[in-house]
């Protein structure tokens, strides 16, 4: 009977290799968190102690000390909600991907407007009807003229910023 109880307790305990694997995963997550931009830490559901430890990383310039500190961050992560942290990282990554796609779309339309002029403006207004037609046409004319005269791309940048900040693209 006691043998059966001991066997049952063994099943509830984690093996040493499993514990080590989990600690390595937490250390890797800590390393990943330490490499994130500081602004992103504020979005994460983490304790003030962990935030402070992450901020300390930038002050460490010795390789061994940094390695030791990352292990300490991994140790702190044992008391955190890892699932929530990982979910927030996924959300942040998705938002970043969407922002990059939007910037590429705006860049595509800017280039198209520079190549096609009013024809491109007309087609853009079909998919982003919220834009001011006159202002858009003026920006395109200025950017094209600037390009023809080999001037610095002031209006080209302004056109891009206008598209990025104002265009609401429809899927139709």
With cut-offs at 50, 70 and 90, classify the pLDDT of residue 171.
low
Q: Residue 58: what pLDDT?
A: 87
pLDDT digits (tens, 9 = 90+) for 17-70: 888 888 889 989 999 999 988 888 888 899 999 999 999 998 988 889 899 999
Does residue 56 share a domain with residue 6? yes
Query: What's this model's pTM, rounded to 2 decimal places?
Result: 0.62
Does residue 17 share a domain with residue 39? yes
For the chain, how many structural domains are there in total? Answer: 2
Query: Last residue of some domain: 80, 113, 144?
Result: 80
- 14: domain CATH number is 1.10.60.30
Give the Cα separation of 118 and 93 in Å (integer): 36
With cut-offs at 50, 70 and 90, classify the pLDDT of residue 172.
very low
Does residue 101 share a domain with residue 147? yes
The whole-number average pLDDT for the span 73-98 is 91
Does residue 135 share a domain with residue 69? no
Q: Residue 157: what pLDDT?
A: 94
Does residue 162 share a domain with residue 100? yes
* Residues 151/93, Cβ–Cβ less than 8 Å: no
Q: Is residue 171 part of a domain?
A: no
Q: Is residue 135 part of a domain?
A: yes
pLDDT digits (tens, 9 = 90+) for 6-15: 444 455 577 8
Does residue 74 share a domain with residue 7? yes
Q: Residue 7: what pLDDT?
A: 47
Does residue 104 share a domain with residue 67? no
Alpha helices in the chain (DSSP H): 2-12, 16-35, 38-43, 48-56, 63-77, 82-116, 118-127, 133-148, 154-166
Domain residue limits at 137: 90-166
Q: Residue 83: what pLDDT?
A: 92
Q: Is residue 118 part of a domain?
A: yes
Does residue 110 share a domain with residue 75? no
Q: Is residue 51 part of a domain?
A: yes
State the DSSP string of 19-48: HHHHHHHHHHHHHHHHHS-HHHHHHS---H
Query: Last residue of some domain: 52, 80, 108?
Result: 80
């Amino acid at each position: 009977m006691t043998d059966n109880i001991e066997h049952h307790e063994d099943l509830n305990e984690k093996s040493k290799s499993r514990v080590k694997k989990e600690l390595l995963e937490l250390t890797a997550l800590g390393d990943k968190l330490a490499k994130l931009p500081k602004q992103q830490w504020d979005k994460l559901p983490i304790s003030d102690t962990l935030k402070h430890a992450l901020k300390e990383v930038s002050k460490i310039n010795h390789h061994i000390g940094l390695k030791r500190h990352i292990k300490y961050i991994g140790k702190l992560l044992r008391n955190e909600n890892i699932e929530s942290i990982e979910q927030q990282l996924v959300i942040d990554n998705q938002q970043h991907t969407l922002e990059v796609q939007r910037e590429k779309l705006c860049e595509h339309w800017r280039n198209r407007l520079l190549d096609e002029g009013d024809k491109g403006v007309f087609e853009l207004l079909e998919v982003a009807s919220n834009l001011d037609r006159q202002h858009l046409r003026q920006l395109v004319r200025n950017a094209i003229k600037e390009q023809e005269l080999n001037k610095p791309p002031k209006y080209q940048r302004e056109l891009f910023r206008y598209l990025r900040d104002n265009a609401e693209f429809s899927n139709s």
